[in-house]
Amino acid sequence: MSQSWVRRLIIVAIGLVIFGGSAALARQGRFRHLLPPVAGLLPGGIPPSTPLGTSCVRDPADLPPPPAGPDGRPANYLHTCGSRIYDSHGREVRITGVNWSGMETSDYVPGGLGNRNWQEILDQVAALGYNTIRIPFSSEAIDAGQQIGGVNFALNPDLQGLSGLQMLDRLVEGARARGLRVILDRHQPTSSGRTALWYTTDVPEERWIADWRMLAARYRGNDTVIGVDLANEPHGPATWGTGDPATDWRLAAERAGNAVLDANPYLLVFVEGIENYQTDHFWWGGNLDGVRAAPVRLYVPNRVVYSPHDYGPYVSDQPWFHAPTFPRNLPQEWDQHWGYIQEQGIAPVVVGEFGGWSFGSDPDGQWQRALLDYLRAHRIGFLVWALNPTWDTGGILRGDWQTVDVAKQSAYRPLLATPLDTGPTGTFGRAPTRLKVLFRQDAASAASGETAFSFRIFNDGPTTIDLSRLEVRYWFRAAPVDPSILRPVIESGDLPGATVQASVVPTNRGGQTFFLSIRFARGSGSIQRYRTSGDVTVRFQKPAMAHLPPTADYSVAGLPSPAGGFTEWDRVTLYLDGRLAWGQEPPGSSARP
């Protein structure tokens, strides 16, 4: 071999090393200018017509391990491989879920919370077999301090005072407790309604992207949130592949998708279609014909999921419903507009919205039965619109927000896939039993050394709890004294029939540290699931310790709640069957033997 050939090989080898290193850095969001997207290629430079096979069953993005989840479990994030979706262990998963709308409205909460407890609704979603919830929201809903409304707080005591963003956190937390997964859907810019494009004058593209970057970072490491649906149903002037930054939805999806993956590269990016592609008219968000020539290109490979919407003639009449061959023509319509993406292995397809009242021989019923057959035959995931009974499609639930529409559920059930997670209990749909103390410090006579407080016990779990199994401890300091003279007085008028007993117990920390033990006698009743007990008010005298301020008691030190308000407070501890179930005891403190 001549020296010139050796030099050429060395140069090629160096180039490959540099390119490979640049690609790895680009996948991590660094030095992206070294690896610009290439028109006509999928992420990673794979031609869109080439099935990806099994080479990407393990995530080829080569990412560092994600942070551990909120409960300490290792994150199990998803990625795409051809037309399939896989988890971190290389197991194929399929998304079969339901939309729970409402956070896009001026109440900023999912629907039904004026009728039911939000956790009971999540229990029912899991019990019906759906493995994912798509949560529509508006940019307005996640504005700082935007307070929620439309909630019956007697049924949802833990939602009192939350902002829209905190409500979203609570939904993600509740879904995680049951093994459900979540897709976030920026449904519209404000609560006033949907818009044709992903931005408006009041909510510009910069705000849209900033919102997505914030949410992606907020849930980084929390594999409950599996993906983001960037914008709902672009239509009208929205284009695909034209290169116009003001209307080209494909380019906007790349800008937002890359921002999302910068903040959280473990997410799937759901991209809907448009309405009009060149001269072809289809559903809002349903026309993905442009992906053939111009697929969405993201810097982290294997993250794009295409998510069309499809509806029947009851929602809006369309020419294809009047074809002489209807409903046999429908598979061809779907093949052309989005089904080919799945069939050619370009990317997975998950139908983000569909639904209707009928499954009969009328046109709407024929459409829906044909679509279900198509989804089954092509193993395509879906998210039913909607859980809510208030839409023109009807809902999985009827108007009372409790009764299941049997016809709908019977039609969808055979297509439902296995759960994507089991949750911390190891059983899908089963949330753990959790108890909390809601505490309030009450006015008391400081001169007489009186202490006064009230509490409620919140049963934030799926099982009714007998009060006699519970003990509350208030930790305090007092001058050395015979505990019998502290004379606790209990008021429990909000717990009719309950017998509440209190006793003062010295601890092993010496003669100045005690706790007040509050117990319920047998026959005192129970706390229903996802409900709070009535108020219990306690007053007792304690000898003053002149050198200590009134807040020296461990159980009130640092209490942030305003006068008159209850707050979750973990310095008042709660025990179930003698075991600590809530709160933090003072370091080194326990009952004196």
- Which residues are known to be catalytic? 233, 353
Handedness of CA 258, 263, 268, 270 (dihedral sign): negative
Q: What angle do CA 351, 356, 361 make, to 5 degrees?
A: 115
Q: Tell me whether strands 276-277 and 579-582 are parallel, antiparallel or unpaired.
A: unpaired
Q: Exposure pattern of 385-396 as b/e (b: 16+ CB <10 Å)?
A: bbbbbeeebbbb
Is 12 exposed, middle or buried, given 0-12, 13-18 or 19+ CB atoms closer than 10 A? exposed
Helices 164-178 & 118-128 angle (0-180, nearest 10): 40
Q: Which long-range contacts (CB under 8 A, 24 or more apart) does 71-79 make?
A: 71/176, 71/424, 73/424, 75/221, 75/222, 75/223, 75/266, 76/223, 76/421, 77/223, 77/226, 77/266, 77/267, 78/226, 78/227, 78/268, 78/420, 79/268, 79/302, 79/303
Q: What angle do CA 107, 113, 117 make, to 5 degrees?
A: 150
Strands across the sheet containing 92-93: 78-81, 84-87, 92-93
Q: How far apart are CA 189 and CA 206, in angstroms?
A: 12
Q: How far apart are CA 35 and CA 46, in angstroms?
A: 14
**DSSP per-residue letters across 496-530:** TT--EEEEEEEETTEEEEEEEEEEE-TTS-EE-TT
With CA atoms as reference, report the closest residue to 300 among 257, 347, 271, 252: 257
Q: How far apart are CA 329 and CA 321, in angstroms?
A: 9
For residue 282, how far is the Cα from the chain centroid? 30
Q: How far apart are CA 525 and CA 509, in angstroms?
A: 35
Q: How far apart are CA 458 and CA 157, in angstroms?
A: 8
**DSSP per-residue letters across 432-472:** PP-EEEEEEE----TTTTEEEEEEEEEE-SSS-EEGGGEEE
With CA atoms as reference, report the closest residue to 586 among 559, 560, 561, 553: 553
Q: How far apart are CA 462 and CA 546, in angstroms?
A: 46
What token pair was written down for 219?
């849930």
Is residue 423 within 8 A of residue 431, CB to CB? The reply is yes
Is residue 56 within 8 A of residue 81, CB to CB? The reply is yes
* Residue 204: count of CB within 10 angstroms of its CB: 12
| Residue 233 three-state SS | coil
